[in-house]
Amino acid sequence: MKKAHQTPQWVYDTVAKEHPLCERKILFNDHECKGNLTMEHVWIYAGCQINEVWAIIHICDWAHSTGQCQDNGGLDKQMNEFISLRRATPQDLVKYPRRDWIIRKRYLDFKYEKRIVKGRK
């Protein structure tokens, strides 16, 4: 994999401000948060992380399987992709044309949309 580009600090600040809690817990209420909140770069494109607000999610150590939950966390990469794609706009995705975002989004919507806690966006 190529060396990752440095993510600008303003991207992390924006993600933390817009989503101050574990996004997976808020949407799915499927775990008790453990550890610190972390940022996950959900997507790799052309060998590099996508360093955009929509492509980075704020989740706890348990949901990211990092920190104190390294060996016993609940990382679900596809669920993280679902969370990320819910925030992406068509203008965001058109920048990355080699990925078939429509098919991926349809698949993830089918798999996870029904699991969202009622009343959550």
pLDDT (tens digit, 9 = 90+) per residue, 29-72? Answer: 999 999 999 999 999 999 999 999 999 999 999 999 998 898 88
Residue 2 lies in a domain: no
Residue 84 lies in a domain: yes
The pLDDT tens digits for 73-115 are: 999 999 999 999 999 999 999 999 999 999 999 999 999 999 9
Residues of the domain holding 89: 9-115
- Into how many domains does the chain fold? 1
Residue 58 lies in a domain: yes
Residue 36 lies in a domain: yes
Residue 4 lies in a domain: no
Q: What is the DSSP string of 43-96?
A: -EETTEE--SGGGEEEEEHHHHT-GGGTTT----HHHHHHHHHHH--HHHHTT-
Residue 95 lies in a domain: yes
Residue 96 lies in a domain: yes
